[in-house]
Amino acid sequence: MSDYQPQVTGAAVTVLGMLLVACAESPPGQPLIPVVSTDEVLNLVRDGKKVVFVDAREPAEFAEEHIPGAINVTLRDIESMDTDVLADADVVIAYCLKDFRGFEVARALDRAGIHAARTLKEQGINGWKARGLPTYVAGHQSSVEAVNRLRACARDPETCAKQST
Amino acid sequence: MSAALARHWRDPLIIGGLLAVLGVPFVTWWSTVDPVSEYFRYAVPDGQRVYLLSKLVGLYAVIGFWIQASYGILGITWRRQLRIEWGLGFHRGLGLSVLLLAACHAMLFVAAVGMRTKHFPVQYLQISFEDGFYRSMIALGLIALLVTLVAVIAALTRSRFGPYFRYAHWVALPAFLLALFHSWRIGSETRMSPLSVLYLLMLLSTTGLIVMRAFWARGVPEGSQPR
Protein backbone atom coordinates (compact mmCIF):
# COMPACT_ATOMS: atom_id res chain seq x y z
CA MET A 1 0.00 0.00 0.00
CA SER A 2 2.76 2.42 0.97
CA ASP A 3 4.21 2.08 -2.53
CA TYR A 4 1.41 3.99 -4.16
CA GLN A 5 0.12 6.14 -1.30
CA PRO A 6 2.17 9.23 -2.31
CA GLN A 7 0.55 9.40 -5.77
CA VAL A 8 -2.99 9.16 -4.42
CA THR A 9 -2.28 11.55 -1.55
CA GLY A 10 -0.64 14.01 -3.94
CA ALA A 11 -3.64 13.97 -6.28
CA ALA A 12 -6.08 14.40 -3.37
CA VAL A 13 -4.14 17.26 -1.77
CA THR A 14 -3.78 19.07 -5.10
CA VAL A 15 -7.50 18.85 -5.87
CA LEU A 16 -8.50 19.88 -2.34
CA GLY A 17 -6.12 22.84 -2.37
CA MET A 18 -7.46 24.05 -5.70
CA LEU A 19 -11.02 23.55 -4.47
CA LEU A 20 -10.39 25.77 -1.47
CA VAL A 21 -9.15 28.51 -3.79
CA ALA A 22 -12.06 28.01 -6.21
CA CYS A 23 -14.62 28.21 -3.41
CA ALA A 24 -13.27 31.49 -2.07
CA GLU A 25 -16.08 33.99 -1.89
CA SER A 26 -16.39 36.26 -4.87
CA PRO A 27 -15.62 39.89 -4.01
CA PRO A 28 -18.69 42.12 -4.07
CA GLY A 29 -18.79 44.96 -6.51
CA GLN A 30 -18.08 45.21 -10.19
CA PRO A 31 -18.99 42.07 -12.10
CA LEU A 32 -16.44 40.68 -14.52
CA ILE A 33 -19.22 40.41 -17.11
CA PRO A 34 -22.37 42.51 -16.67
CA VAL A 35 -25.71 40.71 -16.62
CA VAL A 36 -28.90 41.77 -18.32
CA SER A 37 -32.40 40.59 -17.44
CA THR A 38 -34.77 39.06 -19.96
CA ASP A 39 -37.11 42.04 -19.44
CA GLU A 40 -34.31 44.40 -20.46
CA VAL A 41 -33.55 42.22 -23.48
CA LEU A 42 -37.18 42.28 -24.58
CA ASN A 43 -37.23 46.08 -24.20
CA LEU A 44 -34.13 46.38 -26.38
CA VAL A 45 -35.67 44.12 -29.04
CA ARG A 46 -38.92 46.13 -28.91
CA ASP A 47 -36.96 49.38 -29.31
CA GLY A 48 -35.28 48.06 -32.44
CA LYS A 49 -31.80 47.77 -30.93
CA LYS A 50 -29.36 45.27 -32.37
CA VAL A 51 -29.38 42.38 -29.92
CA VAL A 52 -27.20 39.43 -30.88
CA PHE A 53 -27.55 36.13 -29.04
CA VAL A 54 -24.40 34.00 -29.01
CA ASP A 55 -25.01 30.35 -28.20
CA ALA A 56 -21.85 29.03 -26.53
CA ARG A 57 -22.86 25.37 -26.60
CA GLU A 58 -21.71 22.61 -28.92
CA PRO A 59 -23.15 22.64 -32.47
CA ALA A 60 -25.20 19.50 -31.74
CA GLU A 61 -26.91 21.26 -28.82
CA PHE A 62 -27.42 24.41 -30.85
CA ALA A 63 -29.07 22.40 -33.61
CA GLU A 64 -31.56 20.90 -31.15
CA GLU A 65 -32.79 24.19 -29.70
CA HIS A 66 -31.64 27.79 -29.35
CA ILE A 67 -32.86 31.32 -28.69
CA PRO A 68 -34.39 32.68 -31.91
CA GLY A 69 -31.83 34.37 -34.14
CA ALA A 70 -28.83 33.16 -32.13
CA ILE A 71 -25.47 32.37 -33.71
CA ASN A 72 -23.37 29.43 -32.54
CA VAL A 73 -19.90 30.39 -31.23
CA THR A 74 -18.08 28.04 -28.86
CA LEU A 75 -15.13 29.14 -26.75
CA ARG A 76 -12.66 27.52 -29.15
CA ASP A 77 -14.17 29.43 -32.11
CA ILE A 78 -13.58 32.92 -30.77
CA GLU A 79 -9.91 33.27 -31.64
CA SER A 80 -10.61 32.58 -35.32
CA MET A 81 -14.01 34.27 -35.61
CA ASP A 82 -14.61 37.56 -37.38
CA THR A 83 -15.78 39.75 -34.50
CA ASP A 84 -16.82 42.50 -36.94
CA VAL A 85 -20.26 40.87 -37.11
CA LEU A 86 -20.70 41.76 -33.43
CA ALA A 87 -18.93 45.11 -33.43
CA ASP A 88 -22.04 47.25 -34.06
CA ALA A 89 -24.36 45.28 -31.77
CA ASP A 90 -25.96 47.21 -28.94
CA VAL A 91 -25.90 44.12 -26.76
CA VAL A 92 -24.29 40.72 -27.28
CA ILE A 93 -25.79 38.06 -25.03
CA ALA A 94 -23.72 34.93 -24.63
CA TYR A 95 -25.57 31.98 -23.16
CA CYS A 96 -25.54 28.22 -22.73
CA LEU A 97 -27.67 26.01 -20.47
CA LYS A 98 -26.80 27.61 -17.13
CA ASP A 99 -24.23 30.11 -18.40
CA PHE A 100 -21.02 28.38 -17.34
CA ARG A 101 -19.87 28.25 -20.95
CA GLY A 102 -21.86 31.36 -21.78
CA PHE A 103 -19.91 33.32 -19.18
CA GLU A 104 -16.58 32.12 -20.57
CA VAL A 105 -17.60 33.05 -24.11
CA ALA A 106 -18.83 36.48 -22.94
CA ARG A 107 -15.49 37.03 -21.20
CA ALA A 108 -13.53 35.95 -24.28
CA LEU A 109 -15.63 38.26 -26.47
CA ASP A 110 -15.02 41.12 -24.07
CA ARG A 111 -11.28 40.47 -24.26
CA ALA A 112 -11.58 40.39 -28.06
CA GLY A 113 -12.99 43.93 -27.99
CA ILE A 114 -16.72 43.19 -27.89
CA HIS A 115 -17.45 45.18 -24.75
CA ALA A 116 -21.22 44.86 -25.19
CA ALA A 117 -20.96 41.20 -24.16
CA ARG A 118 -23.40 40.24 -21.42
CA THR A 119 -24.91 37.17 -19.81
CA LEU A 120 -28.51 36.63 -18.81
CA LYS A 121 -29.54 37.35 -15.24
CA GLU A 122 -31.91 34.38 -15.47
CA GLN A 123 -28.95 32.09 -16.35
CA GLY A 124 -28.91 30.69 -19.84
CA ILE A 125 -31.48 29.13 -22.09
CA ASN A 126 -32.93 27.28 -19.08
CA GLY A 127 -33.72 30.60 -17.40
CA TRP A 128 -35.00 31.99 -20.71
CA LYS A 129 -37.43 29.11 -21.10
CA ALA A 130 -38.45 29.31 -17.43
CA ARG A 131 -39.61 32.87 -18.18
CA GLY A 132 -41.87 31.43 -20.88
CA LEU A 133 -39.88 32.97 -23.73
CA PRO A 134 -39.76 31.31 -27.15
CA THR A 135 -36.98 29.16 -28.55
CA TYR A 136 -36.27 27.68 -31.93
CA VAL A 137 -36.77 23.92 -31.69
CA ALA A 138 -35.61 21.82 -34.62
CA GLY A 139 -38.55 20.48 -36.61
CA HIS A 140 -41.16 22.56 -34.79
CA GLN A 141 -40.98 25.81 -36.73
CA SER A 142 -38.73 27.74 -39.10
CA SER A 143 -36.02 30.10 -37.84
CA VAL A 144 -37.97 33.03 -39.25
CA GLU A 145 -41.13 31.99 -37.39
CA ALA A 146 -39.12 31.68 -34.16
CA VAL A 147 -37.65 35.17 -34.58
CA ASN A 148 -41.12 36.56 -35.31
CA ARG A 149 -42.41 34.93 -32.12
CA LEU A 150 -39.63 36.61 -30.17
CA ARG A 151 -40.47 39.99 -31.68
CA ALA A 152 -44.12 39.45 -30.78
CA CYS A 153 -43.03 38.62 -27.25
CA ALA A 154 -41.02 41.82 -27.09
CA ARG A 155 -44.10 43.81 -28.10
CA ASP A 156 -46.38 42.03 -25.63
CA PRO A 157 -44.42 40.07 -23.00
CA GLU A 158 -47.43 39.17 -20.87
CA THR A 159 -49.36 37.51 -23.68
CA CYS A 160 -46.19 35.71 -24.73
CA ALA A 161 -45.67 34.24 -21.27
CA LYS A 162 -49.31 33.14 -21.10
CA GLN A 163 -49.07 31.42 -24.50
CA SER A 164 -46.04 29.46 -23.38
CA THR A 165 -47.56 28.18 -20.14
CA MET B 1 6.84 6.11 -5.89
CA SER B 2 8.71 2.96 -6.84
CA ALA B 3 12.48 2.87 -7.03
CA ALA B 4 12.25 1.78 -10.67
CA LEU B 5 10.27 4.89 -11.56
CA ALA B 6 12.63 7.09 -9.56
CA ARG B 7 15.53 5.88 -11.72
CA HIS B 8 13.74 7.10 -14.83
CA TRP B 9 13.58 10.69 -13.62
CA ARG B 10 17.02 11.06 -15.17
CA ASP B 11 15.91 9.81 -18.56
CA PRO B 12 15.34 12.92 -20.71
CA LEU B 13 12.97 11.14 -23.09
CA ILE B 14 10.70 9.96 -20.29
CA ILE B 15 10.86 13.33 -18.52
CA GLY B 16 10.24 15.29 -21.72
CA GLY B 17 7.35 13.06 -22.72
CA LEU B 18 5.70 13.26 -19.30
CA LEU B 19 6.16 17.03 -19.11
CA ALA B 20 4.65 17.48 -22.58
CA VAL B 21 1.71 15.21 -21.85
CA LEU B 22 1.05 16.79 -18.47
CA GLY B 23 1.75 20.33 -19.67
CA VAL B 24 -0.53 20.42 -22.73
CA PRO B 25 -3.85 20.20 -20.81
CA PHE B 26 -2.78 22.87 -18.36
CA VAL B 27 -1.49 25.25 -21.06
CA THR B 28 -4.68 24.81 -23.11
CA TRP B 29 -6.92 25.29 -20.07
CA TRP B 30 -4.84 28.26 -18.91
CA SER B 31 -5.15 29.93 -22.31
CA THR B 32 -8.93 30.06 -21.78
CA VAL B 33 -8.85 31.43 -18.21
CA ASP B 34 -5.85 33.76 -18.42
CA PRO B 35 -5.59 36.17 -16.62
CA VAL B 36 -6.95 33.99 -13.86
CA SER B 37 -6.71 36.84 -11.33
CA GLU B 38 -9.83 38.36 -12.92
CA TYR B 39 -11.90 35.57 -11.39
CA PHE B 40 -10.81 36.74 -7.94
CA ARG B 41 -10.74 40.51 -8.44
CA TYR B 42 -14.25 40.82 -9.91
CA ALA B 43 -17.61 39.32 -9.07
CA VAL B 44 -18.25 36.16 -11.07
CA PRO B 45 -21.39 33.98 -11.11
CA ASP B 46 -21.72 31.41 -8.31
CA GLY B 47 -19.94 28.17 -9.09
CA GLN B 48 -17.97 29.52 -12.08
CA ARG B 49 -14.55 28.90 -10.54
CA VAL B 50 -15.57 25.45 -9.33
CA TYR B 51 -16.76 24.69 -12.87
CA LEU B 52 -13.38 25.76 -14.29
CA LEU B 53 -11.59 23.59 -11.75
CA SER B 54 -13.87 20.69 -12.67
CA LYS B 55 -12.79 21.03 -16.30
CA LEU B 56 -9.09 21.01 -15.41
CA VAL B 57 -9.47 18.00 -13.12
CA GLY B 58 -11.43 16.20 -15.85
CA LEU B 59 -8.63 16.77 -18.37
CA TYR B 60 -6.06 15.29 -15.99
CA ALA B 61 -8.34 12.34 -15.23
CA VAL B 62 -8.35 11.49 -18.95
CA ILE B 63 -4.60 11.99 -19.35
CA GLY B 64 -3.90 9.84 -16.27
CA PHE B 65 -6.31 7.20 -17.55
CA TRP B 66 -4.47 7.10 -20.89
CA ILE B 67 -1.09 6.57 -19.22
CA GLN B 68 -2.64 3.93 -16.98
CA ALA B 69 -4.39 2.13 -19.84
CA SER B 70 -1.24 2.15 -22.00
CA TYR B 71 0.84 0.85 -19.10
CA GLY B 72 -1.66 -1.94 -18.48
CA ILE B 73 -2.05 -2.97 -22.12
CA LEU B 74 1.70 -3.16 -22.63
CA GLY B 75 1.98 -5.84 -19.98
CA ILE B 76 5.05 -6.64 -17.95
CA THR B 77 6.99 -8.24 -20.83
CA TRP B 78 6.74 -5.29 -23.20
CA ARG B 79 7.23 -2.83 -20.37
CA ARG B 80 10.49 -4.54 -19.48
CA GLN B 81 11.61 -4.49 -23.11
CA LEU B 82 10.82 -0.79 -23.29
CA ARG B 83 12.50 -0.26 -19.90
CA ILE B 84 9.42 1.39 -18.44
CA GLU B 85 8.58 -1.25 -15.84
CA TRP B 86 7.73 0.83 -12.79
CA GLY B 87 6.10 -1.89 -10.72
CA LEU B 88 2.63 -2.75 -9.51
CA GLY B 89 2.73 0.07 -6.98
CA PHE B 90 2.89 2.63 -9.78
CA HIS B 91 -0.02 0.97 -11.61
CA ARG B 92 -2.15 0.83 -8.47
CA GLY B 93 -1.27 4.37 -7.41
CA LEU B 94 -2.05 5.83 -10.80
CA GLY B 95 -5.25 3.79 -11.08
CA LEU B 96 -6.55 5.03 -7.75
CA SER B 97 -5.49 8.59 -8.61
CA VAL B 98 -7.41 8.39 -11.90
CA LEU B 99 -10.51 7.15 -10.09
CA LEU B 100 -10.10 9.94 -7.54
CA LEU B 101 -9.68 12.60 -10.24
CA ALA B 102 -12.66 11.32 -12.25
CA ALA B 103 -14.85 11.27 -9.13
CA CYS B 104 -13.65 14.77 -8.20
CA HIS B 105 -14.39 16.00 -11.73
CA ALA B 106 -17.97 14.73 -11.47
CA MET B 107 -18.48 16.03 -7.92
CA LEU B 108 -17.04 19.45 -8.75
CA PHE B 109 -19.33 19.75 -11.76
CA VAL B 110 -22.38 18.77 -9.71
CA ALA B 111 -21.28 21.19 -6.96
CA ALA B 112 -20.83 24.02 -9.48
CA VAL B 113 -24.32 23.46 -10.91
CA GLY B 114 -25.76 23.30 -7.39
CA MET B 115 -24.05 26.57 -6.46
CA ARG B 116 -25.40 28.19 -9.63
CA THR B 117 -28.98 26.96 -9.49
CA LYS B 118 -29.34 26.69 -5.68
CA HIS B 119 -30.74 23.20 -6.20
CA PHE B 120 -29.06 19.82 -6.01
CA PRO B 121 -28.81 18.82 -9.68
CA VAL B 122 -30.01 15.26 -9.27
CA GLN B 123 -30.64 15.05 -13.02
CA TYR B 124 -26.90 14.85 -13.68
CA LEU B 125 -26.59 11.75 -11.51
CA GLN B 126 -29.14 9.89 -13.61
CA ILE B 127 -28.19 8.15 -16.83
CA SER B 128 -30.45 9.43 -19.58
CA PHE B 129 -30.07 9.46 -23.36
CA GLU B 130 -33.47 10.98 -24.03
CA ASP B 131 -32.85 14.59 -23.03
CA GLY B 132 -30.62 15.82 -25.81
CA PHE B 133 -26.94 15.91 -26.63
CA TYR B 134 -25.63 17.44 -23.40
CA ARG B 135 -27.38 15.03 -21.03
CA SER B 136 -26.36 12.10 -23.25
CA MET B 137 -22.69 13.11 -23.11
CA ILE B 138 -22.88 13.52 -19.34
CA ALA B 139 -24.51 10.08 -19.13
CA LEU B 140 -21.55 8.62 -21.05
CA GLY B 141 -19.16 10.22 -18.58
CA LEU B 142 -21.14 8.81 -15.67
CA ILE B 143 -21.09 5.34 -17.20
CA ALA B 144 -17.32 5.66 -17.73
CA LEU B 145 -16.89 6.56 -14.05
CA LEU B 146 -18.99 3.63 -12.86
CA VAL B 147 -17.17 1.16 -15.13
CA THR B 148 -13.84 2.55 -13.90
CA LEU B 149 -14.99 1.87 -10.36
CA VAL B 150 -15.79 -1.73 -11.35
CA ALA B 151 -12.30 -2.04 -12.90
CA VAL B 152 -10.62 -0.74 -9.74
CA ILE B 153 -12.67 -3.03 -7.49
CA ALA B 154 -11.83 -5.99 -9.77
CA ALA B 155 -8.11 -5.16 -9.51
CA LEU B 156 -8.14 -4.76 -5.75
CA THR B 157 -10.12 -7.96 -5.11
CA ARG B 158 -8.72 -10.27 -7.80
CA SER B 159 -6.67 -12.26 -5.30
CA ARG B 160 -9.82 -13.16 -3.35
CA PHE B 161 -11.99 -14.20 -6.25
CA GLY B 162 -9.69 -16.39 -8.31
CA PRO B 163 -7.69 -15.99 -11.52
CA TYR B 164 -10.67 -15.48 -13.85
CA PHE B 165 -11.76 -12.39 -11.96
CA ARG B 166 -8.68 -10.61 -13.30
CA TYR B 167 -10.40 -10.32 -16.67
CA ALA B 168 -13.03 -8.07 -15.09
CA HIS B 169 -10.24 -5.51 -14.72
CA TRP B 170 -10.11 -5.21 -18.51
CA VAL B 171 -13.40 -3.28 -18.45
CA ALA B 172 -11.05 -0.37 -17.74
CA LEU B 173 -10.37 -0.20 -21.49
CA PRO B 174 -13.95 0.49 -22.62
CA ALA B 175 -14.21 2.83 -19.63
CA PHE B 176 -11.21 4.79 -20.91
CA LEU B 177 -12.57 4.96 -24.46
CA LEU B 178 -15.93 6.16 -23.11
CA ALA B 179 -14.21 8.78 -20.96
CA LEU B 180 -12.14 9.92 -23.93
CA PHE B 181 -15.25 10.23 -26.10
CA HIS B 182 -17.16 12.08 -23.34
CA SER B 183 -14.28 14.51 -22.89
CA TRP B 184 -13.78 15.03 -26.63
CA ARG B 185 -17.43 15.72 -27.39
CA ILE B 186 -18.36 17.86 -24.40
CA GLY B 187 -15.19 19.79 -23.66
CA SER B 188 -14.41 23.04 -25.43
CA GLU B 189 -10.66 22.78 -24.78
CA THR B 190 -10.37 19.23 -26.07
CA ARG B 191 -10.80 20.44 -29.62
CA MET B 192 -8.32 23.29 -29.22
CA SER B 193 -4.84 22.79 -30.55
CA PRO B 194 -2.51 21.30 -29.25
CA LEU B 195 -4.84 19.39 -26.92
CA SER B 196 -6.80 18.07 -29.90
CA VAL B 197 -3.57 16.56 -31.26
CA LEU B 198 -2.92 14.88 -27.91
CA TYR B 199 -6.47 13.47 -27.92
CA LEU B 200 -5.94 12.04 -31.38
CA LEU B 201 -2.65 10.55 -30.22
CA MET B 202 -4.36 9.01 -27.20
CA LEU B 203 -7.07 7.42 -29.34
CA LEU B 204 -4.67 6.07 -31.99
CA SER B 205 -2.06 4.80 -29.54
CA THR B 206 -4.61 3.04 -27.33
CA THR B 207 -6.36 1.45 -30.29
CA GLY B 208 -3.01 0.41 -31.75
CA LEU B 209 -1.87 -1.11 -28.46
CA ILE B 210 -5.13 -3.05 -28.05
CA VAL B 211 -4.80 -4.45 -31.58
CA MET B 212 -1.13 -5.33 -31.04
CA ARG B 213 -1.91 -7.01 -27.76
CA ALA B 214 -4.78 -8.98 -29.30
CA PHE B 215 -2.60 -10.22 -32.17
CA TRP B 216 0.24 -11.03 -29.80
CA ALA B 217 -2.07 -13.05 -27.57
CA ARG B 218 -3.24 -15.14 -30.54
CA GLY B 219 0.12 -15.62 -32.20
CA VAL B 220 2.54 -16.67 -29.48
CA PRO B 221 2.76 -19.75 -27.32
CA GLU B 222 1.17 -19.79 -23.87
CA GLY B 223 3.53 -18.39 -21.27
CA SER B 224 5.36 -15.91 -23.48
CA GLN B 225 2.45 -13.44 -23.75
CA PRO B 226 2.72 -10.10 -22.13
CA ARG B 227 1.29 -10.22 -18.63
Backbone angles phi, psi at A67, to 5 degrees: -70, 135
Which are the contacts of A28, defined by CB distance < 8 A and separation ≥ 6?
A: B43
For chain A, percent of residues with pLDDT exceeding 90:
61
| pLDDT value for A36 | 96
The Cα B193–Cα B184 span in angstroms is: 12
A48-71: per-residue pLDDT in tens?
A: 999 999 999 999 999 999 999 999
List, edge to edge, every strand of the sheet that includes A71-72.
Answer: A35-36, A117-120, A91-95, A51-55, A71-72
Chain B 89-118, CB below 8 Å of chain A: which residues?
89-90, 92-94, 96-97, 100-101, 104, 108, 112-113, 116-117
Taking CB atoms and an 8 Å cutoff, what residues of chain A touch B40? 24, 27
A50 or B12, which is more confident: A50
A155 or A104, which is more confident: A104
Beta-carbon separation of B50 and A32 below 8 A: no
Residue spans of the domains in chain A: they are: 33-162
Lowest mean pLDDT segment, chosen from A4-13, A143-152, B59-68: A4-13
B227 or B57, which is more confident: B57
Instruction: Please give the average per-residue pLDDT across B81-101, as a whole number.
Output: 89
Give the one of B40, B132, B192 whose C-beta lies nearest to A61's C-beta: B132
Taking CB atoms and an 8 Å cutoff, what residues of chain B touch A64? 132-133
Mean pLDDT, chain B, whole residue set: 88
Identify the band that residue B224 occupies on the pLDDT scale cut at 50, 70 and 90: very low
| pLDDT value for B53 | 94
| pLDDT value for A1 | 47
The Cα A125–Cα A46 span in angstroms is: 20
| pLDDT value for A165 | 47
CATH topology of domain A33-162: Oxidized Rhodanese; domain 1 (3.40.250)
Chain A nearest CA to B111, separation (Å):
10
For chain B, percent of residues with pLDDT exceeding 90:
59
Taking CB atoms and an 8 Å cutoff, what residues of chain A touch B100? 8, 11-12, 15
- B109: closest chain A residue by CA: A100
Identify the band that residue A164 occupies on the pLDDT scale cut at 50, 70 and 90: low
The Cα A10–Cα B78 span in angstroms is: 28
Residue A118 bridge partners (DSSP):
A93
Chain B nearest CA to A91, separation (Å):
19
Residue B227: pLDDT over 60: no
Residue B136: pLDDT over 60: yes
